[in-house]
Structure formats: structure tokens, C-alpha cells
């Protein structure tokens, strides 16, 4: 039943067994199962926020590489975001249907941020990325500029579809046509589930393909470990949602005096996911460690500065600023709308390290220029960069605070 009452369609959503007699019996002492759900979800969520908050604070107070660490903020925030959504779902069972799709929406942002993190690892300078991926055609790792653009689109489509599915879920549930416990094709639930399942599958598979084709260049950054910290969350929540959808649709588990319909279908999953988020918070503390961003761990560390401000406030503000996410979505649309054309350059003459790294190079030299399309290919290969370039390479911390000019 939605906020606007039952649907008057001939296709009626199967009724659920509900009433005050279900789930009212005490499980432990004077606590019902719903009481235990609220307590457990609260405890798990608080613990998750403490662990994830500590991890983020370490990055915020060692904010030496904004271009990478802003993305790490958004990736690691998936854990407290899921914990919060499922705590609220467990505490307010009747609102669970309206809340849970928004966890998938943030999941899409985390996956897009992971993709951007990999891209930044490969080429920190945005204006040189098209040249970098176009040049990969000539390297052993494979890849091409059109492939890079298609990957961008396939990752970002998940943001669009997860948002639309979340909005559609709330609207159809309120209108009484969502029918979470029905499997009929005339209910919105089955179609929205299919759409979001296909969308997340496309995004994850494309990310895995992107890693496979660039794993040689990405090896120093342990990208598979970082992806595992996200993919495991996506996989577990996806599998659990499918299992409970089947149980809910088939009526395999019946309410009883101890367990209500909402306890079974929303309370139990909320406990499981909130508990899992504690483990993922610990895992991300290792997978997305802040140690590489400490000044004493960076090459030419004497020039490294922290730009997070007092207690990393500027870092948190920069991570919460959605402007760059919107710009990346617009970029994805432009890749769809604009027909791919051959760049006006064939390859890069040279991409020597910019004054740092073991490759040396002239720190005062300007960035290498592009060779015209009719020039002979000179066999340029991907630049050998330090695993964690200094933050001095980037233009701003948060879009309004300029960084000092490069000192090397």
C-alpha cells in the first residue's frame, strides 16, 4: 500500500500477512525483533562511522594530493552511506522501500569516483588524458581514445539510471503500483529491479575491463585491492537483495508471532548490511590508506604541503562539492552526442617526468607538444611516473583555493 492508497487497477498487488499479532512476541527479555534490529543496526552504524571517520580524517589532515584524495573520500564514504541508509531502514521498517534505492545511487557515485581515481593515477593532468589514452593504441597494454570515452559513458550511465530508479521507486510505491512482494510484469518493482541490475552490471564489468587493459601502468597503486573494497559491497548487497526479493515475491518465509513481514524482508537485511559495513570500514582503512600521502612518503617530500586546512575542513568541503561530478556527467553526454573523430595529433613526442621521479627531466621545460597528424610515429610509450605525484602538480584544492606554483 502506498501513501496515496491502493491501486484500483485490475492487477492487484498480492496482500501481505500483517497485523499487531505478528512480530509482537518478545525475543529476548522485553525486546521484540524490531527492537533488536534497531539496537544492532545502531551499534554497527556508530562503529562504522567511527572507523570510516578516522580513515577520512587521516586523509583530510594529510591532504597532499587533492586530485586523488577527493576521489578516495567519495569512494570510502560508500560504507557509512550504506550503514546510515540501512540503519534507517531497520529502525523505520515502513520507510525501507523508499530509502534503500538511494544506497544504490551513492554506490554509483563511488564506482564513478573509482574510475576517475584510476584515470588520475594514469595521467594526473586532465588536459593530457585524451593524448594519453590515444597513445595507448601503440603500447602493449592496448586501449584507445574511443574505448576510453565508451568506458566513461558506461560507468556514468549507472549514476543516471540509479537516480531515476530511486525516484521511480518512491513515486510508484507512493502510488501503490510498485508492489515489492509481487512478481507480475504489470508491477513497477520487477522492471525497476531489472533496469538497475543491468546498469550496475554494465558499469562493474566495464571497470574490470578498464583495469585489465591498464593493469601494468596501475600496478604500483594496487587497483584490484581498491576495487575489491567497492565490488565486494556491490556484490553482497546485490546478492542479498535478489535473495530477499525472491523470498518476498514467493512468500517462502511467513510472518509469525516473533517476526513480522517487515522484520523478515527489511529488518534482517538491514542487520546483515550494517554488520558487513563494519568489516568493510576496516578493510578500506587498509585498501585506501593515507600513508602514501604523508609528506615523508612522497618523492621530493620537501615540497609537499597539506591543503586540508584546520582538521582537514577544506578537504571535507572539497569532497562534498558535487560540481565536478556534474561536469563529468556532462562530459559523458558529450561523448555520446559528439561523433568520435580522429585527433589532430598522432602521438606525443615525449612525455618525460615533469621534473620528478627517477627519469629526471628538465623541471623548467614546458609540457611536450603534440606532433601533427602527418608526422611520423616516434614510438612514444606511456610515461613512467612516481606512484603518487606531488600535489603541486594540480591547480586547485577545492575549486576556489589556488595551490602554489610548481617548485620543481
Q: Which domains does the chain have, with CATH numbers?
A: 33-326 (1.20.1070)
State residue 170's pLDDT score. 95
Distance CA 241, CA 90 (A): 15
State residue 173's pLDDT score. 92
State the DSSP code for 288. T
Asked whether 136 and 382 are in contact (CB, 8 A), the reply is yes
pLDDT digits (tens, 9 = 90+) for 78-108: 999 999 999 999 999 889 999 999 999 999 9
Q: Quick one: 128 exposed, middle or buried, by C-beta within 10 A (0-12, 13-18, 19+)?
A: middle
Does 7 score more than 80 pLDDT? no
State residue 290's pLDDT score. 92
Give 28's contacts (C-beta < 8 A, 6+ positions apart).
36
Distance CA 234, CA 237 (A): 6
> How far are the Cα atoms of 103, 234, 356 from residue 84, in angstroms, in the given order?
9, 16, 42
Pick the more confident residue, 231 or 142. Answer: 231
Q: ∠ CA(252), CA(256), CA(261), 5° rounding?
A: 60
State residue 350's pLDDT score. 41
Does 328 score more than 60 pLDDT? yes
The C-alpha cell 523478515 sits at 264
| Percent with pLDDT over 90 in the chain | 46
State residue 378's pLDDT score. 45
Does 383 score more than 70 pLDDT? no
**Mean pLDDT (whole number) for 160-183:** 90
- What size, in residues, is the chain? 408
- Which range has highest mean pLDDT (212-221, 297-306, 351-360)? 212-221
CA atoms within 13 A on the CB side of 331: 18
Asked whether 12 and 179 are in contact (CB, 8 A), the reply is no
pLDDT band of residue 301 (cuts 50, 70, 90) is very low
Pick the more confident residue, 243 or 339. Answer: 243
User: Which H helix or E strand runs over 345?
Assistant: strand 345-348
**Mean pLDDT (whole number) for 372-387:** 43
Pick the more confident residue, 394 or 280. Answer: 280
Q: ∠ CA(266), CA(268), CA(273), 5° rounding?
A: 90
Cell numbers placing 36:
533488536
Asked whether 291 and 297 are in contact (CB, 8 A), the reply is yes
Asked whether 110 and 95 are in contact (CB, 8 A), the reply is no
**Mean pLDDT (whole number) for 251-258:** 76
State residue 121's pLDDT score. 93
> How far are the Cα atoms of 53, 57, 73, 230, 323 from residue 285, in angstroms, in the given order?
10, 11, 12, 13, 27
Q: Which of 111, 60, 103, 104 is nearest to 81 (CA)?
A: 103
Full-model pTM: 0.77
| Percent with pLDDT over 70 in the chain | 72
Cell numbers placing 61:
589532515
pLDDT digits (tens, 9 = 90+) for 334-361: 999 876 554 444 444 344 443 333 444 4
Asked whether 165 and 190 are in contact (CB, 8 A), the reply is no
State residue 99's pLDDT score. 95
CA atoms within 13 A on the CB side of 11: 11
Q: Which of 12, 5, 6, 2 is nearest to 182 (CA)?
A: 12
Q: Which of 182, 224, 175 is nearest to 13 (CA)?
A: 182
Q: Which of 167, 164, 172, 174 is nearest to 189 (CA)?
A: 172
Amino acid at each position: 500500500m502506498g501513501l496515496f492508497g491502493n491501486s484500483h487497477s485490475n492487477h492487484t498487488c498480492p496482500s501481505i500477512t500483517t497485523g499487531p499479532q505478528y512480530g509482537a512476541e518478545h525475543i529476548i527479555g522485553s525486546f521484540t525483533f524490531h527492537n533488536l534490529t534497531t539496537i544492532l543496526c545502531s551499534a554497527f552504524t556508530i562503529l562504522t562511522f567511527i572507523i570510516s571517520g578516522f580513515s577520512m580524517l587521516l586523509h583530510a589532515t594529510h591532504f597532499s594530493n587533492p586530485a586523488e584524495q577527493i576521489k578516495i573520500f567519495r569512494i570510502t564514504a560508500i560504507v557509512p552511506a550504506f550503514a546510515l541508509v540501512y540503519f534507517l531502514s531497520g529502525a523505520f521498517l515502513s520507510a525501507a522501500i523508499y530509502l534503500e534505492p538511494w544506497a544504490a545511487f551513492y554506490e554509483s557515485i563511488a564506482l564513478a569516483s573509482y574510475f576517475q581515481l584510476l584515470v588520475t593515477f594514469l595521467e594526473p593532468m586532465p588536459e593530457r588524458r585524451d593524448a594519453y589514452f590515444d597513445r595507448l593504441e601503440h603500447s602493449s597494454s592496448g586501449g584507445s581514445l574511443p574505448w576510453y570515452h565508451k568506458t566513461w559513458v558506461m560507468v556514468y550511465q549507472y549514476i543516471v539510471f540509479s537516480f531515476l530508479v530511486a525516484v521511480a521507486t518512491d513515486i510508484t510505491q507512493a502510488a501503490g503500483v510498485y508492489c515489492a512482494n509481487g512478481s507480475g510484469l504489470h508491477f513497477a518493482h520487477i522492471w525497476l529491479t531489472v533496469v538497475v541490475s543491468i546498469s550496475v552490471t554494465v558499469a562493474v564489468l566495464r571497470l574490470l575491463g578498464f583495469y585489465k587493459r591498464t593493469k601494468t601502468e596501475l600496478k604500483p597503486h594496487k587497483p584490484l585491492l581498491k576495487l575489491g573494497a567497492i565490488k565486494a559491497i556491490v556484490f553482497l548487497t546485490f546478492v542479498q537483495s535478489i535473495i530477499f526479493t525472491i523470498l518476498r515475491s514467493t512468500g517462502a518465509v511467513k510472518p509469525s508471532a516473533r517476526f513480522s513481514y517487515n522484520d523478515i524482508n527489511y529488518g534482517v537485511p538491514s542487520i546483515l548490511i550494517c554488520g558487513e559495513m563494519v568489516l568493510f570500514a576496516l578493510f578500506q582503512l587498509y585498501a585506501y590508506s593515507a600513508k602514501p600521502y604523508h609528506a615523508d612518503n612522497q618523492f621530493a617530500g620537501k615540497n609537499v604541503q597539506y591543503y586540508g586546512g584546520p582538521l582537514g575542513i577544506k578537504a571535507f568541503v572539497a569532497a562534498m562539492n558535487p560540481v565536478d561530478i556534474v561536469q563529468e556527467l556532462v562530459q559523458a553526454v558529450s561523448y555520446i552526442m559528439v561523433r568520435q573523430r580522429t585527433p589532430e595529433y598522432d602521438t606525443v613526442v615525449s612525455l618525460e617526468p615533469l621534473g620528478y621521479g627517477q627519469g629526471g627531466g628538465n623541471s623548467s621545460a614546458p609540457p611536450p607538444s603534440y606532433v601533427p597528424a602527418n608526422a611520423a610515429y616516434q614510438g612514444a610509450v606511456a610515461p613512467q611516473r612516481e606512484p603518487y605525484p606531488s600535489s603541486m602538480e594540480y591547480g586547485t584544492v577545492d575549486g576556489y583555493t589556488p595551490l602554489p606554483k610548481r617548485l620543481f
